[in-house]
Amino acid sequence: MTDVTNSSAADLSTALQAGELSSVEVTRAYLDRIAADDDTIGAYLHVDADAALKAAEDIDAARAKGAELGPLAGVPLALKDVVVTEGVPTTSGSKILEGWRPPYDATLAARLKAAGTVLLGKTNMDEFAMGSSTENSAYKVTRNPWDTDRIPGGSSGGSSAAVAAGLAPWAIGTDTGGSIRQPAAVTGLVGHKPTYGSVSRYGLIAFSSSLDQAGPMTRTVLDAALLHEAIAGHDPLDSTSIDSPVPVLAECARRGAEGDLSGLKVGVVTELGGDGHSEGYDPGVLARVAEAVALLESMGAEVRQVSCPAFDLALPAYYLIAPSEASSNLARFDGVRFGLRVGEDGSRDLDEVMALTREQGFGPEVKRRIILGTYALSSGYYEAYYGQAQKVRTLITRDFTTAWDEVDVLVSPTSPTVAWNIGDRVDDPVAMYAADLCTLPASLAGVPAISVPCGLSDGLPVGFQIMAPALADDRCYRVAAALEAAQDAARGHVLLAGIAPKENSPS
């Protein structure tokens, strides 16, 4: 193993366990890359090199003493800044939380710490996870390593850019309407949104509580499965946590990579880029997705078209439900308990301080959503907007249930287009929202969905989405691993975008 920052996390784990590399060596390699390249990429909001090296030293010392360590021990990682971390600045991309150092760890952060992973830093994101380009961050621009004039997707764009640029081996993102899958798609990564309720939300700064899920963003399907297993499982601190065993995913990814899909029934969703529904989709995206479907078929899968008519209504339903829940969740940012407080000079009462803090602390997209959500929930309009949207949500869930009678997984593009130029959609919220067309149905129904790279269009990555029934996340991994292996066999695995494209060398 020579090129640490061009390795998969699974390969790093193997080398660490075999004593071929120390955690300090691996961590230092990533910190060096961050120091060299993050001024250009802008993936991180916070990096504490000393703390990372200290954690790595502790793991190396424990290993030297013969301590029983798990497979992830000593592997570094990055966390989206929406994940609360004890003593480590956490802003959710917002000025209103500037300077806040949380007094506790999110459950997933605590689990990753207990597994011995080394925190490299916290990654940039759209403010409160509202956006598809990371341009709504209150702090900085994040660039796509494949073309630094382009967006890295969002809202987990700091995580996608960090992993794609080799500034972290893998990262955690969160997905409310597509924020793991879409940034993974446009930066050539694997990103999985777990079944709603299967990964703890305790300590994720809430955006839309009935939709938010955390999950892995990685270079390979196996890495995603390993990271997912480490954060999954019941948590009594999250009231919507499902009480079921930690899913077996890495094993499914390994078996999937053998490439036998015989007996698997695959449904291609007509409404997501199919006949009569291709407006707004890049032809190059549709071509790569069709090739991926053909590859699944060549491995024995049985493919058919499946119509899910209510999916056409996912976008308006989501953009009522998510802002409604956000307007309630964001009421806690009042300038009293966390972060920013503006205008407290003795001349103003509490209401004025609160109003000034919110005026200066929230950015324009967050204000737009709070206003929209408050309106949609107001008495007299509640049934017409929020109530209707919830009914649409039920119809979408029913479309999935009907589909599962016929097929094992549903597939589609992850995003209608490749990464666009920075600035192109900032003045057009509806164009920005359109990036979520394909990811929203799985979010609204709470079912798992993975995005796996399926080639390039105009030199930019395209993502293939695989959706499965609730708690059948393993199916997403099996099919994604088969596709990944078949593509690797066809053209060799490109692990990294790199700032300057790099040669292929997974190990």
Residue given tokens 């909001």 in the structure block: 45
CB of 331 to ligand GLN, least distance (A): 18
Does residue 94 interact with ligand GLN by CB under 6 A? Answer: no
Strands (E), 100-182: 118-123, 171-175
Q: How far apart are CA 133 and CA 126, in angstroms?
A: 7
Residue 129 makes contact with ligand GLN by CB under 6 A:
yes
Q: Specify the residue, 30 or 202, whose C-beta has the smaller distance to ligand GLN.
A: 202
- Residue reference for tokens 């949500």: 393
Which is catalytic among the residues 8, 22, 132, 155? 155
Q: Does 179 bind ligand GLN (CB under 6 A)?
A: yes
Token digits of residue 12: 């790093």
Residue 278 is among the residues annotated as catalytic for this protein: no
Write the binding mask 217 to 236 for ligand GLN: x where contact by CB under 6 A, - elsewhere: --------------------
Quote the least distance from Cβ 80 to ligand GLN, whole Å. 10
Residue 416 touching ligand GLN (CB under 6 A): no
Q: Which of 7, 80, 122, 156 is catalytic?
A: 80
Residue 212's nearest CA partner among 244, 239, 245 is: 239
Stretch that binds ligand GLN, among 97-105, 171-179, 198-206, 469-477 (CB under 6 A): 171-179
- Residue 394, classed as helix, strand or coil, is helix
Q: Which is nearer to ligand GLN, 235 or 436 (CB)?
A: 436
Q: Which of residues 432-491 bind ligand GLN (CB under 6 A)?
A: 436
Burial of 6 (0-12, 13-18, 19+ CB in 10 A): buried
Q: Which stretch binds ligand GLN (CB under 6 A): 170-178, 218-226, 334-342, 485-493?
A: 170-178
Backbone angles phi, psi at 451, to 5 degrees: -115, 130
Q: From CA 390, how far away is CA 469, in angstroms rounded?
A: 20
Cβ atoms within 10 Å of 291's Cβ, excluding its own: 15
22 flagged as catalytic: no
Distance CA 78, CA 43 (A): 10
Q: Is 123 or 132 the residue whose CB approaches ligand GLN more closely?
A: 132
Closest CA to 52 of 33, 72, 26, 70: 26
By beta-carbon distance, which residue lies closest to ligand GLN? 179
Joined tokens for residue 274: 């199919």
Grouping H, G, I as helix, E, B as strand and the rest as coil, residue 339 is: coil
Single out the segment in contact with ligand GLN by CB under 6 A; choices: 2-10, 125-133, 304-312, 372-380.
125-133
What is d(CA 478, CA 498) in angstroms, rounded to the nearest whole number?
Answer: 27
Contact call for residue 408 and ligand GLN (CB under 6 A): no
The reply to whether 159 sits near ligand GLN by the rule CB under 6 A is: no
Specify whether 179 is catalytic: yes
Query: Does residue 155 interact with ligand GLN by CB under 6 A?
Result: yes
Q: Which residues are catalytic?
A: 80, 155, 179
Binding site for ligand GLN (CB under 6 A): 129-132, 155, 175-179, 207, 322, 436
